[in-house]
Chains A and B, each alone.
Chain A
Amino acid sequence: MALDPIRRCGLALLRGLALAGLGVATAVSFVVHLAFLVVGFGLGLLVLPPLAIRAGRPVTNLARRLAGTWSGVPVEVPYQPRPAPPAPDAEGHYPRDNRLYRRPWVPAALNWFDWLLGDPATYRDLAWLALNPVVGTLLGGAPAALVGVGLWYAASRAGTDWWALPAGLAAVAAGLALAPGLVLLHGRWTRLLLRPPRPEPGRLRVWYARLLVTLLRLLCLLGLSLLALPLAALGALGLLLGYGLGIVAVLPPLIENVRHLAELRRRLAGRWSGVEVPSPYLPRPELPPRRPDGRYRVGAHLYRTERWAGYHLRLRWLTRDGATWRDLVWLLLDPVVGGLMLAVPLAALGYGLFGLAVPRFWMLLGVTPEGDAAAWYAAVAGSGAAAIPVGLALAAFGVFAAPRVLRGNGRWVRLLLAPTARARLALRVRRLTETRADATAAQAAELRRIERDLHDGAQARLIAMGINLGHVEYLLDRDPAAARALLAETREASAKALAELRDLVRGIHPPVLAERGLADAIRALALDLPVRTEVGIELPGRAEPPIESAVYFAVSELLTNVVKHAQAERAAVELRYVDGRLRVVVRDDGRGGVDPARGSGVRGIERRLGTFDGVVEVSSPPGGPTVVTLEVPCALSSPRTSTS
């Protein structure tokens, strides 16, 4: 029994030795990888890297297995599953990435490359291969080395020094005792890099990554702000040329370039600083129609050709827009205001860490920089003692200020680059004009359709009925049997006329909508569909009738699309009132792939709801599911409760 621990230690020693051998093997594998990667990517022989990676996996898998069986640290295999062989389409071709292949092996090989090169585990493997020759060999080989050195020492010096024997034996004992622990440690080390990456990064890493992103953004914005400096100089020159010397041709390109930069900053303010800055520019005007004398009028000028009229129009459009001048003012101020603002946290962090704390730390360790340390380098006001605390405090301030400054910069951008009240009004007028045109056009088309339906349908049938009835009157005495047959026919015609009128009425304003309101109308709509449709409605009141009608027809159109095109098993309609907006979500489990740009249905809904400032959002990846969201701002009247 007493032998057991010794045997265990001995076994661990041997395993450690084997692991050290594995370390040497990984060194070889790493060198091979390196060679294949460098040659592969360097010379464009893209076949080589995947081959090396594939060949290297048995080595890492062996390490995983050994960690589980020898160290008792199981390590899961992290690799993504091998891609399935490519499947031919209906015509026998093999599609991949917008290309068709006649034979399966090309797409299969490409899939294989993607599988190996696209797996994050591949790169963790590489890191392990690079480090394991040192770490793994040390951990595995240390006990054996101790034992070996101890034995050698005891054997060679036993005659000369009396303490050589006990010291040698002690080393052997230490080697044996350490062996199991070091083998365990080797297993943990293997697990550290070879296990599947954790699905969620730790909080510290998230914080660090966020900080890094914030700092990078600050740096980019600082660069853009400084870029404004030469542009501002150019701008001043351009204005001088344009207005001073009358060379107006320089103005449009200048202004448009400034606009590009300003637009970029607006977008970045929204995306990076979380401050939405809408574009303030007036829309480009259309060329007015030709006058009776065949010329175009722009301002007080008349032009014979379209080109010059257009040029003048563009110049007027660019120079008369207030936003242009606000852009220019911003261009002059931003390098100073924005630049200073952005530089503060970056400077505090950089100087605090790399100007004060870190150099002073190295000095403490005895590394003295060459030459004299200036008063600002590694010292505060000439005293070195305060350098580390002050440096750290400055860095902490930089870290604290960075996200705030990023947001503040967004506000600064908004201050000058957001549309003024006047520009907003102008944009609003433009939008209203558009939607009004849409609405009137839709209404006119609707009336035309109704007129046509009545004219060709019910009206014609009534005429036919009148004729028939006249004939019945004539037949009544002469041929009662024929009269009766004609009467039956006439009754049928009246039923058909009614049915047509009913359909027409449904298209104008569905009776359920009039009788029950939006919620029940949508429920009734869902009941009549051949696709099983769930309806969830939470409406505390009723919207204005025009909005109810528009939303009803929008939902009706969407559900019709679901039935016609989506090949869906189920659909769902959700109706809610959130933050002063009526929100409708229509989803189905069909095949997806609805392109709002192409489908005239969605465009029609957009136009219909646009009159009420409503918006439509479509999410429909190929393969489904399709989710369409409608939102219309509106007020709800006091509840006239709908029975359900």
Chain B
Amino acid sequence: MRVVLAEDLYLLRDGLARMLTAHGFEVVAAVETGPELLEALLGLRPDVAVVDVRLPPTRTDEGLQAALVARREIPGLPVLVLSQHVEQLYARELLADGNGGVGYLLKDRVFNAEQFVDAVRRVAGGGMAMDPDVIAKLLVRSEREEPISRLTPREREVLALMAEGRSNLAIGQRLFLSESAVSKHTASIFAKLDLAPSDDDNRRVLAVLAYLNSATTR
């Protein structure tokens, strides 16, 4: 699997590249600035990109902006965004196009190599990987807001794990449910959030998006 890596700190970039290579990825480009990243994304069209939010030259949100631009050019281009801090604001922007293939994780999550690589694979496969911190922040408020208030507590738990990017099987293991019970819950969630039947991955993204939007201000 071909990966583009964007990270401005040498130590981190090197470590990430080593880890990904060790897990069978092919790092086709490891860049350190926003413009380089955009060029690599559009030029090399990797299977997945691992991107730091803050990159030179402005050291603001160059990485995020480059990823968003690239995804506008190539819809669904899988991007996993890493950051020292997670914001619902950024998560919303990443998910807004509803195309999936999006991850947004704290850099700490890299510590657990297996889980991290798993997240990269999920994103590359068009799935999703939202940081548990983002989900936790969402849970603070969205319970009283439409349409999330229609969900049962159990369905909300399932939705939260879905947002992290877990498969039905993984969700079942986590909540001690059978896989069929989980898919019953997901079907109920999709119905309550008025999501028309379509490709399952896409609906999972839309469900999470509805979740995010319920906590938004506009």
Interface residues of A (CB under 8 A from B): 491, 494-495, 498-499, 502, 505-506, 511-512, 514-516, 520, 523-524, 526-535, 643
Contacts and interface: CB of A to CB of B under 8 A. Distances in A.
A524 B89 contact: yes
A512 B53 CA distance: 11
Given A494-B111, A495-B111, A502 B89 contact: no
Contact of B87 (A498, A524, A531, A535): A524
A639 to B, nearest CB: 15
Nearest to B215: A527
B60 A502 contact: no
Contacts of A491: 111-112
B93 interface: yes
Contact of B88 (A498, A515, A528, A532): A528
B101 to A, nearest CB: 20
Contacts of A535: 217
Interface stretch (B18-26, B119-127, B137-145, B174-182): B137-145
Contacts of A499: 108
Contacts of B111: 491, 494-495
B141 A520 contact: no
Contacts of A512: 85, 87, 89
B108 A495 contact: yes
B84 interface: yes
Most chain B CB inside 10 Å of its own CB: which residue of A505, A511, A534: A511
Contacts of A526: 217
A516 B137 contact: no
A515 B61 contact: yes
B149 interface: no
Interface of B: 53-54, 59-61, 64-65, 83-85, 87-89, 93, 107-108, 111-112, 137, 140-141, 145, 215-218
A83 to B, nearest CB: 37
B217 A515 contact: no
Given A494-B111, A643-B93, A511 B215 contact: no
14 contacts: A494-B111, A498-B107, A505-B84, A511-B54, A512-B89, A515-B53, A516-B60, A524-B89, A527-B88, A532-B141, A533-B217, A534-B217, A535-B217, A643-B93
A505 B54 CA distance: 15
A502 B85 CA distance: 7
A511 B85 contact: yes
B138 to A, nearest CB: 9
Contact of B61 (A516, A523, A532, A533): A516
Most chain A CB inside 10 Å of its own CB: which residue of B54, B84, B89, B215: B89
Nearest to B92: A527
Contact of A515 (B54, B108, B216): B54
A534 B93 CA distance: 18
A219 B60 CA distance: 65
B77 to A, nearest CB: 18
A506 to B, nearest CB: 7
A506 B86 CA distance: 11
Contacts of B85: 502, 505-506, 511-512
4 closest Cβ contacts across the A-B interface? A515-B61, A527-B88, A524-B89, A515-B60
Contacts of A506: 85
Contacts of A527: 87-89, 137, 215-217
B140 A530 contact: yes
Contacts of B107: 498
Contact of B108 (A498, A514, A532): A498
A465 B3 CA distance: 32
B213 to A, nearest CB: 11
Most chain A CB inside 10 Å of its own CB: which residue of B59, B83, B111: B111
B2 to A, nearest CB: 28
Given A515-B53, A526-B217, A527-B217, A502 B84 contact: yes
Contacts of A523: 89, 217
